[in-house]
Amino acid sequence: MCNFVLEQYPNGMAEWKFPGVKYGWSFSVRDRKRPIIYLLPRQQFFTVAFVFGQNATEKMLNREFPLEIQSALSDAPKYAEGRGIRLPIS
């Protein structure tokens, strides 16, 4: 997944972070302005997290994505950075 994201964003920067025991490790790919994708390792699986700005949110809701993703995005709280969703990947 990381390689795919970096192919789409050749100037992306990949980095591991450990903000503390409460949050654990996270891996992200960022462009100059914002994170593109977060990967959060968990026991036996990982969670992928995305944050979509207003324009990206509108595009996502107007395309054919699985209902689970569209529902998660439309129900997500709106923050200054946009709407964030997390999806478990096993």
pTM: 0.72
For residue range 19-50, list pLDDT tens digits in order.
999 888 999 888 877 788 888 888 899 999 88
Alpha-carbon distance of 58 to 7, in angstroms, equals 24
Given a cut of 90, whether residue 16 has pLDDT beyond it is: yes
**Domain extents in the chain:** 2-89
Q: Which residues, 6 or more positions from 88, have their beta carbon under 8 angstroms from its beta carbon?
A: 42, 45, 46, 47
pLDDT, mean over the chain: 87
The pairing of beta strand 26-30 with beta strand 13-17: antiparallel
Residue 60 neighbours by CB under 8 Å, 6+ apart: 52, 69, 70, 73
- Dist. CA 19–CA 41, nearest whole Å: 13
Secondary structure letter of residue 81 according to DSSP = T
